Structure 1
């Protein structure tokens, strides 16, 4: 098992969110949304290497206030079409050049504020036990939402997966979706593959109650309700 010094937690937090403006520093029940991810990462006690990757001054201030280190990225690395994996790998390269030997790279996006320290350590334990090179956190999907999906072609709709899936839930296979809360990988494999969905891949299942991914005002209100519950 890699020592704590060989684990890197990267929190990519750009300032330019579109559907929910400034969401990473938006007040969520008394503190910036970003703070929840920083606190969970620090409470996991997996590593002293907890960094927020950002191009934004206000986000950098929040990161430092809540105990994370800050890695400044260029504005072009925070554009809409840049994967969140890119600044994480850039941070890894920077630290490797400084002499750190980092074997495991977490990507914890601040848009999953309900993910907690136990989720992070549980995912890490699952990753080590599995022997996989990649892990993503998941949550179970209602099989009707998945198998009864419709597709549209020239104004006409049809079943995406075919009529053979027109069954009651108990007869449909269990399916999961990545919830965006936790991604981790062996750095050598991640550098080669370029994202967290390479093989061998394992998954860490989380309850729906902690799997809200904040992209819209509605998602944000759902998080507020869960935290107030």
Structure 2
């Protein structure tokens, strides 16, 4: 099968301006995704979809091919699903034929090669999309509530006889470590959970999703610890 990896990176990030080219360790943030993709067995091409000339320049410097994203697909309100479709349609119009679509968001720089390879291995004939998850720190069955306008509160999931956290069903947070899908599924459906979804569990230390400066600081700490451990070995 032919596997194409994609990194979708807007230039007008609001939570942390310029985050996609902000240096994390020895490389710009987006470069961490490119470098992992280059090491994954089976990935044949790496593309960066962006509206930013600065991001495009960094992507090219690290060996990725750039797809220019239309401005209307790079706003705060534009669903990234539409950017996925644009990239697929653009490449197909250029004569590219590929079997598997992999999205490796720049905001998850601590993923491992093994995480991505496990996602690729999980896409089979009975699965449309593979996502990554990490164990949640809170549970809708135990300590997550909804409130009304007067402050009245109740558990998100009611009716279950759960008195201890250990009794609650295991729940997971979706992460942005990786998404794997068939291109045809993306083109013919409106969202991930329109299809048959399988998940791969990633440990929390590799699942940091950078949205603001606090997430970025956490990624710096975890990356420094990882590099220190590697040196000590």
Please indicate, yes or no, whether the TM-score normalized by the shorter chain is above 0.5. yes
Match of 2:103 among 104, 107, 127: 107
Match of 1:155 among 140, 150, 155: 150
Distance 1:170 1:146 in 2: 11
Distance 2:187 2:24 in 1: 34
Larger mean Cα displacement after TM superposition, 149-158 or 203-212: 149-158
Structure 1, unmatched stretches of 5+, are none
* Alpha-carbon contact 2:6-2:101 (below 8 Å) kept: yes
Distance 2:10 2:106 in 1: 10
- CA distance 1:226–1:69, change in 2 (3 Å): same
State the SS of the aligned residue for 1:180. coil
Aligned to 1:47: 43
* Alpha-carbon contact 2:141-2:169 (below 8 Å) kept: no
- Measured after TM superposition, the shift of residue 225 of structure 1 is 0.3
Distance 2:53 2:108 in 1: 21
* Alpha-carbon contact 1:136-1:203 (below 8 Å) kept: yes
Deviations 1:152-186 (A, max 9, x none): 21131312223745521221111112112111111
Larger mean Cα displacement after TM superposition, 152-161 or 34-43: 152-161
Distance 1:146 1:127 in 2: 30
Aligned to 2:164: 168
Aligned to 1:86: 82
- 2:134 equivalent to 1:133: no
Deviations 1:174-224 (A, max 9, x none): 111211211111111221112222321101110011111000111001000
Deviations 1:87-134 (A, max 9, x none): 222111111122222221112110111112111111101123x73011
Distance 1:55 1:63 in 2: 12
Distance 1:145 1:217 in 2: 27
- TM-score under structure 1 normalisation? 0.91
Distance 2:222 2:208 in 1: 10
Q: CA RMSD in A?
A: 1.7
- TM-score under structure 2 normalisation? 0.90
